[in-house]
A and B are shown apart, each in its own frame.
Chain A
Amino acid sequence: MKRGPWNRRLFLKTTGLGLVALGAGGPPRFLERLVSQAHADASGRRRRTLVAIFQRGAMDGLMAVPPLEDAGLKELRPRLAMTPRASDARARPLDLGNGFGLHPAFEPLRGLYRDGVLALVHGIGSPNNTRSHFDAQDFMETGTPFRKGTDSGWLNRALRLAPAPEPTPFRAVALTGALPRSLYGSEPALAISDLRQFRLRGRGRTSPTTSAHGFESLYEQTAMELLRDAGDESFEAMRTLKELDASSYEPAPGADYPDGGLGAALKQIAFLIKSGVGLEVGFAETGGWDTHVGQGTFQGAFAKRSRDLARCIAAFWTDIAAHRDDVVLLTMTEFGRTVHENGSGGTDHGRASCSFVLGTRVDGGKVHGGVPRLRRNELEDGRDLPVQIDFRRVFAEVAGRHLGVQQDAALFPGWDGSRYPLLRA
C-alpha cells in the first residue's frame, strides 16, 4: 500500500482494501465517524492534541535557562556556571536577548523561540516543597500537590472535562511501558511503547489471521457490553494501525529524530497526529535528569539529555508542520535543583525549574516568570529557586485554552488559583 503523506481522503480510499485478512470489510467505523465529522465541521473545532513530556528526575532549570548577568551564578556554581564570558566558546549560553540564555544543547530550539512559538516558563513548580522524586512526580501527575490519595491523573481528568468527541481508542496514548499516573482515571487511555506491537501475535500454526477471526466472532456475540465494546475497539484499532502501517512510517523530510526512547515516542505521536485517528493527549517521558554527579557544562550528563530533548522536539515540530495549529507541546519535571553545586560536580534536589511550551498560539519568544537574584538570602531556604508559578496555572491554561476544559476546579480539585496566560484564543 501507499506510504505517506497521510491524507484523510487517500486514507479512506485505501482502507477499503486488504481488510479481508483481518476478517472484516470496510474502514474502521470510528474512523468513518471521525472523518465525516471533520468534513461536516469545516468551520468548527478541530481535534486538538496536547503532547506532554515528563522529564523524570528533576531538570536543572537554572542550567537550561541561566540568567546571563548574575555574578551569583559563578559564585554558587564555580564548576557548573556557564557565562557569556567563558573562555571556551562552547561553554557560553545562547543569548536570548532578554538577560537569559539557553544552554547550547538546546540550540535546535533556538529558531522556535525566535519565531515566537516556543515559550520558556521559569520558576514553575509545586507549592509542596517535598524533595522526594516519588512524591513530587505523583503530586504533579495527579495535579493535587497536597494529596497523595488522588486516584486520577490530571490529563485523564482533562479528557473527561473536555468536550466529548466521537470515541476513538486513540484519544489518549502514552508511548510508555506502563500507564503514567497522569493518565490514570475513568477515560480509556492506551499505554504502548511501540505501536507496531498493537496486533495479535502468532506465527506458523497459530496464524494471527485465523486467531483474529476467532476472537472477533467471540467478542461480537458476547453478552457483556463492556467486553463487546472493548473488543470492537480493539479490532478497529488493530485494523487502523495495520492499514496505517506504522512500521513503514517515514517522518517528513528534515524531521531527524535522534535514536532512543524519546525520539521513538515523539515520532509515533507525530504519526498518530498525522494519521487523524483522534489523538488528543500524547504522553512521552525522558529520564536521566537527576544530575547529582558529574552534571557537566557544555558536555556531560545534562548536555546529553538536553540535546536529545531539543533534537526530539525540533524533529517533532518539523514532522507535524501541517498540523502545528492543532498541537501544543508541554514539558514538565517534578522540581528543580539546588542553585549551589554539590561536592560531586552536580546539584541536589531543589524547588522551581522551567518548562517549555510550544505551539503556534503560544505567547512565545519570551521567558515567563523568572528567577530572583542568586544570593542566598533571596533563595528559598537559602538554596533553591523559589516557585513563582504554580504548575497548575500553566497546566490549566493549556487544558483550558487548547483542549477546551472549562472547569478548572474539577481539573485540579482543591485549587482556586488562576490560569497563567500563555495561549492566545
Chain B
Amino acid sequence: MPWSDAGLSEHQAASHLVDRFTFGPTPGLVDQIVAQGLEEWLARQLRADARSDDLDAKLAALGTLALTNDEIVRDYPRPGRLRRQAIAAGRLDPELAGGDQRRVLRQYAQEMGYKPQRQIVGELVAQRLYRAVHSPNQVAEVLVDFWFNHLYVSATDNQCRRFIGTYERDVVRAHVFGRFVEMLRASARHPAMLLYLDNALSSAPEHVATPVTLAQAELRQQPGRAGRRYDKIFEQMERNEAKRQKRMQEIPEERPPRRGVNENYARELLELHTLGVDGGYTQRDVEEIARALTGWTLLPDGERRARIRERMQRPLAAQLGFVLDGDFLFAADRHDAEAKQVLGRALPPGRGIEEGEDVLDMLAHHPSTARHLARKLAVRFVRDDPPASLVERLAAAFEASGGDLREMVWALVACPEFWDESARRAKVKSPYELAASSVRALGAEVVRPRHLARWVDRMGQPLYRYQAPMGFPDRATAWVDAGALLQRMNFGMSLAAGRVPGVRVDVAQALGGREPESADAALVEYSRALLPGRDVEPTLTALRPLLGQAQIAAEIDRRAAAAERDAGSRASAGMDSMQPQMEGPEEALIDPLAPEEDSGAEASEPAALTLTQVVGLILGSPEFQRR
C-alpha cells in the first residue's frame, strides 16, 4: 500500500482506509488499525470471519432473514393472490367496500398463517442498518452495499419485492468475495432479478423451434413402439396445455403472458451489469442475448408450483431439456433454440440452458466489463471523477484475476491514486453512510432501526426503494441539495440530542467516557474524536465564536437537567430568562417525526452552544459529510 509515497502518516492512511472501506470510524478504531498494521487489518477484513454476539443477537430477532424462497411463496402471498384465494374459499365477498375488504383479508390472512410482504422489506432494511453500524466485518458490508447496488433490484416492484432479502443473501453476500461471474450467474437465476427485469416472462415466439420441439421430434422418430409411445405422451401433454391455457384465460391476473421475447433484462445486463453503455454492443446484440435467455424463469406460485416441481423430477423433463434448480426453472419449451449471433460470435442452433450460461460467461469476461466495473469501483472508492490511469490499472487487475472481487480490493489499495491527496475526503457520504457513520462515531447502539431508517429515507436514500434498475447514483451532486442538506443537519442535531428513537446515544462515549474540562475543550476533543485524521481547524474556527458564553451553556445544561427531573410536566415557559426555550419534560416520549413546535419566543441573540449542539453541529458539518 503506497500511502507513504502520497505523503501520509500511518494514522492518516488508516483514517483514509476507514473512510473508504468502512461505514466510518468508531471511537478508537483508527488507532487500533495503526496498532494492528493496515495490511493485517485489511487482510482480516477480507476474510470477514470476525464475530459479534451482540450483532448476531440483533439479527437473530429478524426472522425473515433465514427464509427460503419456498417459504416466502408459501407464507407471504402476493395481495392479488390472497384476494383470489379468499374469494375462491368463499371467505370474501368481492362486492364489499375497500375498507371492509382489507379487514376481511387481514383476518383471513391471519387465520391462514400468511404474513405481509412489508415485513420482509422492513427487516431487510433493519439488518442493513444493524450491520452497517455494528458489523465487525465492515469491508464486506461496504462491498455488499456496492454490489447490491450494482446488480440492483427494487422493492418498489411488487412482483420482486418479497424475494429481495434472499437475493441480497444468496446472490450478493454469498459471492461478495467470490468471482464476478459467479455473482452474475446467481443474479440471473434469482426470482428477484427474473421478475424485476421481466426475463421470467420472456419466451420464444410461437412456432420457433425449442429444445422441447427438437427433442420431441427426435423421440417420436424412434422406430416402433417407443416412438408411438412418445407420440401418445406428447399428444396428451398438448391437450393438457390447451386446457390449462383456457382455464387461465378466465383469471385475468393469471393469464399467461403472450409468447414473445422481452428484452428488458438483456438490455440492462449489457448496459448496467456488464459491458456498460459505451461497451461496444448493438441493439442486435441486445435482441440476440434476449433470445439466448428465453425460458429462464421461475416456478410459479400456487398449486401449479408443486405440480410443476413434481413434473420436473421425471426423467422426461430432463430429456426434453428442462432444468430445475431451487426455484429457478429453465423452461425448455419457452427457449428459442435457433441460431444466434452475440457480440460477433455465432451461437449454434439446438442448445438449451447452456447457451445462456455461455453468454453470461462471455459478458462477465468481456474487456468492456472489466473497464466498466473498474470505473464503477474507482468512482465508489476513490473519487467521483477517477483518472483514466486508475481505471486502466483496475481493469487490468480485473482481467488478470478473472474478476476476483477480493483481489479488486487489494488492487484498489495498491494504486497510488487511491491514496492521492485528490482522493482524500473527495466523496460525499450517501445518506446511508452518513447515518451509519454518525451512529458509529458516537459509539452509540442501534436497538431498533426503524426511525434511523426513516431518517435515511428523508435524507434522500430510501433503502431498497430506488425505482430504477441502475441503483442509487454514486456521486456527490446526487446527494447534496438544499433540502437534503437541511435534513442532514437536522439528523445530526437529533441524533446528538438522543432524539432518534431506537438509537442509544451517550455523547460521552465518543470520548471514551471522558468529560471535557471546558466548553472549548469539548469542542476540540469532539472535533478530533468525530473527525479522526482530519484537519479540525476550520471547524474550530467556525464554532469557537459561538462558545462565548460557555459557562452559561453549562449552567443551562445543569439547570435544564434539574428542571426536567423536578418539574415533571409543569409548563416551563417563562421560568427563567436565561432559558428562553426550555423544553417539555420527556423528549423520548415525543414522536420525533411529528411536527415540532419551537417553544418560547426567539432570542434576538443566539444562546451559547450546548454540548449536544456542538456534537450535532459536527455531525451536520460539511467536514463530516465527506469521506
Please report A residues at the B interface, Cβ cutoff 8 Å: 20-21, 23, 132, 134, 138, 142, 147-151, 169, 177-179, 181, 184, 186, 188-192, 194, 196-215, 217-224, 226-228, 230-231, 233-234, 236-238, 293-294, 301, 342-345, 348
Supposing A178-B462, A194-B595, A207-B581 touch, asked if A214 and B543 sit within 8 A by C-beta, the answer is: yes
- In the complex, the answer to whether A344 meets B476 with C-beta atoms within 8 Å is no
Chain A residue at smallest Cβ distance from B497: A206
Q: Which of A151, A221, A230 interacts with B485 by CB under 8 Å?
A: A230
Rounded to whole Å, the gap between the CB of B83 and the closest CB of chain A is: 9
Q: Kindly supply a per-residue 1/0 record for chain B positions 125-139, scoring 1 wherever the CB is within 8 Å of any chain A CB and 0 otherwise.
A: 000000000000000
Q: Which of B101, B480, B493 interacts with A211 by CB under 8 Å?
A: B493
- In the complex, the answer to whether B617 meets A215 with C-beta atoms within 8 Å is yes
- In the complex, the answer to whether B95 meets A344 with C-beta atoms within 8 Å is yes
- In the complex, the answer to whether B606 meets A210 with C-beta atoms within 8 Å is yes
- In the complex, the answer to whether B538 meets A148 with C-beta atoms within 8 Å is no
- What A residues does B610 contact at CB under 8 A? 205-206
Rounded to whole Å, the gap between the CB of B145 and the closest CB of chain A is: 19
Band of interface residues on B: 35 or more
**In the complex, B621 has a CB within 8 A of chain A:** yes
- In the complex, the answer to whether B556 meets A205 with C-beta atoms within 8 Å is yes
- In the complex, the answer to whether B616 meets A227 with C-beta atoms within 8 Å is no
- In the complex, the answer to whether B482 meets A211 with C-beta atoms within 8 Å is no
- What B residues does A132 contact at CB under 8 A? 159
**In the complex, B45 has a CB within 8 A of chain A:** no
Please report B residues at the A interface, Cβ cutoff 8 Å: 94-98, 101, 156-159, 197, 252, 264, 267-268, 271-272, 428, 457, 460, 462, 465, 467-470, 473, 476-477, 480-486, 489-490, 493-494, 496-497, 538-539, 541-543, 545-546, 556-557, 560, 579-584, 587, 595-599, 602-604, 606-610, 612-613, 616-617, 620-623, 625-626
Chain B residue at smallest Cβ distance from A203: B583
A132–B262 CA distance with the chains assembled, in angstroms: 14
- In the complex, the answer to whether B613 meets A169 with C-beta atoms within 8 Å is no
- In the complex, the answer to whether A197 meets B482 with C-beta atoms within 8 Å is no
A184–B462 CA distance with the chains assembled, in angstroms: 14
- In the complex, the answer to whether B617 meets A214 with C-beta atoms within 8 Å is yes
Chain B residue at smallest Cβ distance from A383: B252
- In the complex, the answer to whether A218 meets B94 with C-beta atoms within 8 Å is no
- In the complex, the answer to whether B493 meets A202 with C-beta atoms within 8 Å is yes
A222–B542 CA distance with the chains assembled, in angstroms: 9
- In the complex, the answer to whether B604 meets A213 with C-beta atoms within 8 Å is no
- What A residues does B267 contact at CB under 8 A? 147-149
Rounded to whole Å, the gap between the CB of B593 and the closest CB of chain A is: 10
Chain A residue at smallest Cβ distance from B484: A230
A217–B548 CA distance with the chains assembled, in angstroms: 15
A148–B617 CA distance with the chains assembled, in angstroms: 41
- In the complex, the answer to whether B483 meets A198 with C-beta atoms within 8 Å is yes
Q: Which of A138, A189, A200, A294 interacts with B468 by CB under 8 Å?
A: A138
Chain A residue at smallest Cβ distance from B617: A214
Rounded to whole Å, the gap between the CB of A13 and the closest CB of chain B is: 20
A204–B271 CA distance with the chains assembled, in angstroms: 52
- In the complex, the answer to whether B94 meets A343 with C-beta atoms within 8 Å is yes
- What B residues does A301 contact at CB under 8 A? 98
Rounded to whole Å, the gap between the CB of A147 and the closest CB of chain B is: 8
Supposing A148-B264, A194-B595, A226-B477 touch, asked if A207 and B607 sit within 8 A by C-beta, the answer is: yes
Q: Which of A179, A196, A213, A222 interacts with B622 by CB under 8 Å?
A: A222
- What A residues does B539 contact at CB under 8 A? 218
- What A residues does B541 contact at CB under 8 A? 221
Most buried by B among A181, A212, A224, A342: A224
- What A residues does B467 contact at CB under 8 A? 138, 181, 184
**Extra A-B contacts (17), CB below 8 Å, given A184-B467, A226-B480:** A21-B604, A138-B467, A169-B482, A178-B462, A186-B477, A188-B481, A190-B481, A190-B483, A194-B595, A201-B493, A203-B598, A204-B599, A205-B556, A205-B612, A218-B539, A227-B622, A233-B482
Could you list 7 A-B pairs, sorted by A, with CB under 8 Å?
A: A21-B604, A149-B267, A151-B470, A179-B460, A198-B486, A210-B613, A226-B477
- What A residues does B538 contact at CB under 8 A? 221-223
Most buried by B among A184, A234, A343: A234
- In the complex, the answer to whether B483 meets A205 with C-beta atoms within 8 Å is no
Chain B residue at smallest Cβ distance from A181: B467
- In the complex, the answer to whether B560 meets A205 with C-beta atoms within 8 Å is yes
Q: Which of B252, B483, B494, B613 interacts with A348 by CB under 8 Å?
A: B252
Chain A residue at smallest Cβ distance from B252: A348
- What B residues does A134 contact at CB under 8 A? 156-159
Rounded to whole Å, the gap between the CB of A67 and the closest CB of chain B is: 24
- In the complex, the answer to whether A188 meets B94 with C-beta atoms within 8 Å is no
- In the complex, the answer to whether B468 meets A293 with C-beta atoms within 8 Å is no
A301–B545 CA distance with the chains assembled, in angstroms: 60
- What B residues does A231 contact at CB under 8 A? 485, 622
- In the complex, the answer to whether A294 meets B485 with C-beta atoms within 8 Å is no
- In the complex, the answer to whether A217 meets B546 with C-beta atoms within 8 Å is yes
Q: Which of A21, A197, A230 interacts with B481 by CB under 8 Å?
A: A230
- In the complex, the answer to whether A234 meets B486 with C-beta atoms within 8 Å is yes
Give 3 nearest A-B pairs by CB, closest first.
A204-B583, A344-B94, A222-B622
- What B residues does A150 contact at CB under 8 A? 468
- In the complex, the answer to whether A214 meets B483 with C-beta atoms within 8 Å is no
